[in-house]
Structure 1
Amino acid sequence: MHELSETLLAFAAHADRALERALPPADQPPVDLHRAMHYALLGGGKRMRPLLVYATGHTFGASPGTLDACAVAVEIIHAYSLVHDDLPAMDDDALRRGRPTCHIAFGEAMAILAGDALQALAFEVLARDTAEHDAATRVEMMRVLAAACGSHGMAGGQAFDLSAVGQRLDASELERMHVHKTGALIRASVRLGALAAGCRDENLLARLERYGHCVGLAFQIRDDILDIEGEAATLGKTAGKDAANHKPTYPAILGLEASRAHLDALTAEALDVVDGLGEPATHLRDLARFIATRAS
């Protein structure tokens, strides 16, 4: 298994501190809402999306401080999406990151409000960013994040997911679902890191988009494999739930060995895409390998 480097672990710790600073104080009214937001955002997690922001920005020479707003915003959006995905009306899950899900801990109504407030906070973070980005760059960052959230991004992917329960999808239909549901925010993380670092080269941005596409699908395939092979204590969420709910997954459609082969091929392509960027892209390569081999 490929482990995160010391630099990436330091980026993750840096992201945790930036996330805590972005939240309203937990003891500030409305206390229940703010406590639920803290619970959803600071309760662990791999910080994969912030790491992609930092790794991409590092490739173009940006300091972590220049990248903080984008890293924080994507992770806040991710946290909000998990709160809503876990609700009884969606995936109806009781365990997330080794703890009760937000609606179990705070009630369904407060969890919905926490997700709503987190989504709004993500855009507020980008709007009040103190880094020296011009107005056009700030607007583009907000557009990229909004597109990743909407009907052509996560929300659309969740809609595809809900309609696919109990259905027999082919591989292309499954990929379409995950390009939206999982891949959109991962691709946005890479693009936001490049934008925050000042990259405007359309050829480079296209290469990074392809990298994001590959690691986004690889992340989902690894998730699907872990849902079969992993245990709840390691995963921090309910194992085997996809199969129990008759949800389409890569192993269910391709088989386990073909899913592993597809994961390897996507990882190889991601590495090839950033190969020409040299040593500064080391962290992007490390993340691609980690995504393909993680244990949780």
Structure 2
Amino acid sequence: MDATKRIEQALTAAVADAEGPLCPPRLAAAIRYAVFPGGARIRPQLALAVAWACGDDAPDVADAAAVAIELLHCASLVHDDLPCFDNAPIRRGKPSVHKAFGERLAVLAGDALIVLAFETLARRVASRPERLAPLLLIVGGSVGMTSGIIAGQAWECEPRIELAEYHRAKTAALFAAATAAGAAAAGADPEAWRAFGERLGEAYQVADDIRDVAATAEDLGKPIGQDQAHDRPSAARELGVAGAMERLEALVAGAVAAIPSCPGAEDLRKLIRAEVLRLLPKELSRRVA
């Protein structure tokens, strides 16, 4: 089974676990709406790719790690779009969750997705119980208040923000968790894979900053100009588009260089290049092709 099918089947099973006769129907609908259809699923793809590169001796554990990461990402999007943050009316080309279901259900759906991520790990790592605690720490750290995505969002509430630190928490933390969790799920050393995920995550955020000023809302499936509108730090605002492109190229090169020696290294390099090209507007993607 290819990675895309594995991810979608595992996500479907995880969401089904949260649905039942006692679940409020509109909450269940909001959760499903937030998860399906998804975007590129780059974070769970990374987790599975690293697990495969490390032997993938427990596919059910790797699937659980990949799903937990994606559920947390979906939760972050629901919360990011709320009126108290971005107040974004569109996400993935359709009305954002708070526009479709109301603000109260959007808050609850985001919260429920966070809880479901950890429930999924607890339920589906039974075949390798010794791997559960490391995975919980890796995934928990990616969302925590010290350097996870919660901290990344909180930096926007501070009077001064250092761009690299903001990017590391806001985006790179979940990428680093994806690569580290993929390794841990396969019984390998997660720390050997963390730098790869961190650099790729920073590159992803720089590319997103560039798209916010150089792409169209139709291309992105969400509003553009959000960094300027909310006075957020941005590589494109701070460095200019040309400088941000240089930063992106350096981060991509750093991510490629950080891939540990393994049988799947070349496949990972191809995945990185394809994802960067997908993210950038066409007129800019030629520079990193």
Structure 1 length normalisation: TM-score? Answer: 0.88
Q: 1:14 aligns with which of 2, 6, 20?
A: 6
User: Is the Cα–Cα contact under 8 Å of residues 56 and 193 in structure 1 kept in the other structure?
Assistant: yes
* Counterparts of 1:208 and 1:139, CA distance in 2: 18
Establish whether residue 57 from structure 1 lines up as the match of residue 51 from structure 2. Answer: yes
How far has the Cα of 1:239 moved from its partner? 1.6
Alignment of 1:1-296 (within 5 A): 10-24=2-16, 28=21, 29-62=23-56, 64-130=59-125, 132-135=127-130, 137-152=131-146, 153-163=148-158, 173-200=162-189, 205-274=190-259, 277-295=261-279
How far has the Cα of 1:246 moved from its partner? 2.5
What fraction of aligned residue pairs are identical, expressed as a percent?
A: 38
* Counterparts of 2:274 and 2:136, CA distance in 1: 28
User: Is the Cα–Cα contact under 8 Å of residues 182 and 220 in structure 1 kept in the other structure?
Assistant: yes
Q: Which residue of 2 aligns with 1:3?
A: none
User: Is the Cα–Cα contact under 8 Å of residues 90 and 162 in structure 1 kept in the other structure?
Assistant: no
Work out which structure has the larger RCO, using CA pairs closer than 8 Å and 6 or more positions apart in sequence: 1
Amino acid at match of 1:12: T
* Counterparts of 2:262 and 2:133, CA distance in 1: 30
Q: What do you get for the CA RMSD once the two structures are aligned?
A: 1.9
Q: Deviations over 1:217-248 (max 9, x none)?
A: 00000001111111111111112222233222
How far has the Cα of 1:75 moved from its partner? 0.4
SS in 1 for 2:82: coil
Higher mean C-alpha displacement, 240-249 vs 140-149: 240-249
How far has the Cα of 1:67 moved from its partner? 0.9
How far has the Cα of 1:287 moved from its partner? 2.5
User: Is the Cα–Cα contact under 8 Å of residues 234 and 295 in structure 1 kept in the other structure?
Assistant: no
How far has the Cα of 1:160 moved from its partner? 0.4
User: Is the Cα–Cα contact under 8 Å of residues 230 and 295 in structure 1 kept in the other structure?
Assistant: no
How far has the Cα of 1:26 moved from its partner? 5.7
Amino acid at match of 2:71: I
Q: Deviations over 1:4-51 (max 9, x none)?
A: xxx9xx312321121011113767431000000000011321101101
User: Is the Cα–Cα contact under 8 Å of residues 53 and 264 in structure 2 kept in the other structure?
Assistant: yes
Amino acid at match of 1:244: A
User: Is the Cα–Cα contact under 8 Å of residues 227 and 241 in structure 1 kept in the other structure?
Assistant: yes
Amino acid at match of 1:92: N
Q: Deviations over 1:142-179 (max 9, x none)?
A: 11111111112111110102336xx6x5xxx1110110
* Counterparts of 1:283 and 1:18, CA distance in 2: 22
User: Is the Cα–Cα contact under 8 Å of residues 54 and 67 in structure 1 kept in the other structure?
Assistant: yes
* Counterparts of 1:15 and 1:74, CA distance in 2: 11
Q: Deviations over 1:226-282 (max 9, x none)?
A: 1111111111111222223322210111111111111111111111222x5244223
How far has the Cα of 1:131 moved from its partner? 5.5
Structure 2 length normalisation: TM-score? Answer: 0.90
* Counterparts of 1:295 and 1:195, CA distance in 2: 28
* Counterparts of 1:279 and 1:22, CA distance in 2: 30
User: Is the Cα–Cα contact under 8 Å of residues 12 and 50 in structure 1 kept in the other structure?
Assistant: no
Gaps of 5+ in 1: 1-6
* Counterparts of 2:257 and 2:139, CA distance in 1: 26
* Counterparts of 2:14 and 2:215, CA distance in 1: 33
Runs of at least 4 residues off by over 6 Å: none
